[in-house]
Chain A
């Protein structure tokens, strides 16, 4: 019988089951779980994707354990199991953590003062809706900003917010730009970034862990490195410090910080000098045989040779016929041609002048003269004999560079990565199992199809597919040399110029104060010939970023939607940068998350999101795994939390309602298109069809069977039973298509096999792996080929360099407050410092120290450790700013310098599309001095 005196409890009708004697009776009681369900941790623990089971009683998750049910993919290759990391193994602690926010709240004091009051969902959503409409009326829809992060909500959260910003005409900042994971050197070389499946590592003979620390960051998959080593592979760690991964390697190459390019180039020099290079591979797969004019250092083009000729038709010298012939654009197959890597010859241009040309390979030889092991050793500090030994090893074994997300955060990331790619290209080390270079990549994603649909059901999916297919066919008709990959890439590129995504660089420049930083010439590389603004203005005025300069200077950002992210921690310059430049202009900062963080503390409205087992979701799809991993809703959300799709459905409905009430239902967006608000909800939900989260998930799965990414007959029930399902095809997700390899049910995934096996061209200007970039700016910088340049003095001329890395203890800043995990480290932020550097500064273990440069300062506790080399200090990423004294983390002294060459465009593949070519901001190797903090 119901008990009316109870407010927080309710009677179950069962009554006391027995007479209570002692607490042991509670545990003797027969216990049946209300629910056992499949979940994962839908956060940016990339690649993640560990299936877990949760055990639920009375609406509470009480136990969790790894599923460990992945099947073996390739015979002879270990399976993925058990999967999991220490964070995931106690995600229940996060689900019920102290940081959890459970009710809609509104700020009642100053921003950041930490004073809140609860408000109803309706009030919260109404205030946000009005702010959105105000912003559109006052500044236009591009004043509504969402910075995409992989963070806390999983794909369901991402699609919910991006669909909203897309429909109202707001801007979603590109994920790869926002988090600075972009690998520019890989992109410059291949026209794409990609990643093998993790089990492919097992097939390597040499694993080079470079700018990565998988012992910390790849806990579920590191076993493949150990297993490969057990099988006989050689594991090499290249890192300036004795990183935790170096401890387990056969060799540790302790490069000086930022000198990786010199090491890779020296290895390349040895490889060629000792005749270990793979000529057939070089000729077929790379641009090294292509001819370059000696008069202007540019590729010889058809437009040079004939009036009206193509700008993207290149040439090589056929050693067999002794003729300069066109390098085919539609295939890498050489046929009967034997492109010379040596011959220097003369050609007559269209205007009758004669110029000398020679293959890129010869320019590479010239460049490598500066990188003999002895010369490079002076730069990178590695013994010349070690360089030679390693070079021989790479040249004679299947080598895989496990490139982490560290390199892209260097100012000269492009040069470092291009040098690595050169080394791999010289040795034929990609496009075959166990070889290559990995970064990150989105995997197959049926949700993309669902988002494109104009009508629900399989019919809608088929129509969307047909539409895409007809566009792809038209590209192929325009140019018969265009392959499926090239067509999809082109569609993604053209689509990006019309879509709602934008590279964040322009937002940062115009609205976040980075113009000032980026124009500090002394913080750039000295080889930047002109002022930064000269390059910036040239890039914009030449239209290289047409359609992407958003929001431009004429639009003031007004509404900032933070959904599962933490911009005040993530963005270079930190709070000093954003609170000063961006925040004062924002009329509404909306924070949607399951936990409080630094950005939440500075927001206006807080909307509590359901998380983990409280909502139906997937893990992020990735080519590292190629599994669709399911997260079932197993318990009701705590407090009044709602899932992100629920929140945005409410918001679209409210925007529509308020717009009608305010008589403002029509406007022109930033691209000149008419937008309507009076049917927003219907468009958001496909006329109400997507009015429940489960329906969206069901549709996504079923769309996967239509676009072929999932096996026929797969349903939500399949996922509920199994927890995951392996994708069977890439679908149309561009990054997945860019893997250029078949996804086979019984094989590990190795990217680029279409290039090496089917001889299909690369999506670069030259249609080959392109090591020579003859863009005018690259030539001006002397960077047409990879080279080494020292990291610039970002932040000023100070003796120490700050480095970082993803931590072992948290997934970005999630879990950093988990007290159980805090018990496994100091429980507070710390900075590693070499004992010599510490002694010079009278710093002892545990001292509170101050790091500073011309940009700013922060305080942190010192950890004196000989594993760090002198001159380097390390603060791992992930600590919440509010854990530092004064809430100031190292970001406050990072100027976030963007290398000017990142703005280059108007050149083949140097065009923006989602997750691809764009300027990003460096945070590695920022200069600083460290001293004991006052009063320490």
Chain B
């Protein structure tokens, strides 16, 4: 399967650079993974299609990135149990909220300032969040990276490409790569939530770190 065919499932077409598309595709996959799980996603995970998609996209990355064999991807067969694990881990908890919130603002001192910077980022690049969502949700931040990397792929000139690259580097450094390690640590500590999300958080963390290294290298090379 070519990168172009992977992307066409989401409607992206064209002659973009395969590696950038792979990066963009992985961000999109993770964005969906950390959104509230619809039953379709649950089914895809159970049927191993989710992992296949991810593995294929990883193969197209411009750097070496492997999914560790040690990670477990099994989920409870009952959708209600699966979603209640997500809620318990990421959304609703007893003491001061969920143990591992997916909103980055909860990992900093002042969520409003975090959100302001996000909104400014989005606004600079001509996007805004959909109603009902918060700008600092993992799925939104990951999708913004997906968007930027795709903009990079579609850039009409080098200046625009560099603009997208710098934005990705800064966004990653200032946002996702900043708080994801704390999320990973918290998820590791938690017993609830199931193997799938533990693995997904851990893998996304490795990916973000690989991206951070890749992007800074790209910019210093340019």
Contacts and interface: CB of A to CB of B under 8 A. Distances in A.
A621 to B, nearest CB: 29
Interface string B115-133: 1110111111111111111
Contact of B140 (A9, A63, A102): A9
Interface residues of B, number: 68
Interface in B32-91: 32, 35-36, 80-81, 83-84, 87-88, 91
A92 B115 CA distance: 11
Contacts of A116: 84, 87-88, 92
Contacts of A97: 97
B133 to A, nearest CB: 5
B122 A9 contact: yes
A31 to B, nearest CB: 8
Interface stretch (A301-309, A370-378, A636-644, A694-702): A636-644
Contacts of A61: 112
Contacts of B98: 98
A114 B109 contact: no
B6 interface: no
Contacts of A883: 95
A638 B110 CA distance: 18
B139 A8 contact: yes
A351 interface: no
Contacts of A98: 93, 96-98, 101, 103, 106
B170 interface: yes
A778 interface: no
A57 interface: yes
A817 B97 contact: yes
B190 interface: no
A9 B115 contact: no
A93 B127 CA distance: 24
A26 B97 contact: no
Nearest to B173: A23
A62 B116 contact: yes
Interface string A103-145: 1010011000011111000000000000000000000000000
A5 interface: yes
A13 interface: yes
Contact of B160 (A19, A59, A62): A19
A96 B112 contact: yes
A14 B91 CA distance: 33
Contacts of A31: 120
B58 to A, nearest CB: 19
A8 B133 contact: yes
A646 to B, nearest CB: 14
A170 to B, nearest CB: 28
A108 B94 contact: no
- Quick one: which of A61, A108, A820 has the most chain B CB within 10 A? A108
A7 B84 contact: no
Nearest to A97: B97
A99 B97 contact: yes
Given A26-B121, A26-B124, A636-B132, A19 B93 contact: no
A15 B124 contact: no
B208 interface: no
A20 B167 contact: yes
Contacts of B88: 114-116
Given A5-B150, A7-B143, A58-B122, A96 B115 contact: yes
Given A11-B126, A16-B125, A5 B170 contact: no
A601 interface: yes
Highest count of chain B CB atoms <10 Å: which of A21, A60, A636, A640: A60
A418 to B, nearest CB: 43
Given A5-B147, A16-B151, A20-B163, 18 more contacts: A5-B10, A5-B12, A5-B150, A7-B139, A8-B129, A9-B143, A11-B127, A19-B163, A58-B135, A60-B129, A103-B91, A116-B88, A117-B87, A638-B132, A638-B134, A819-B96, A820-B110, A887-B94
Interface of A: 3-23, 25-27, 29, 31, 57-63, 92-93, 96-103, 105, 108-109, 114-118, 596, 601, 636-640, 817, 819-820, 882-883, 887
Which 3 A-B pairs have CB atoms at the shortest separation, nearest pair first?
A: A98-B97, A26-B120, A19-B163
Interface of B: 10-12, 28, 31-32, 35-36, 80-81, 83-84, 87-88, 91-98, 101, 103, 105-106, 109-112, 115-117, 119-135, 137, 139-140, 143-144, 146-147, 150-151, 159-160, 162-164, 166-167, 170, 174
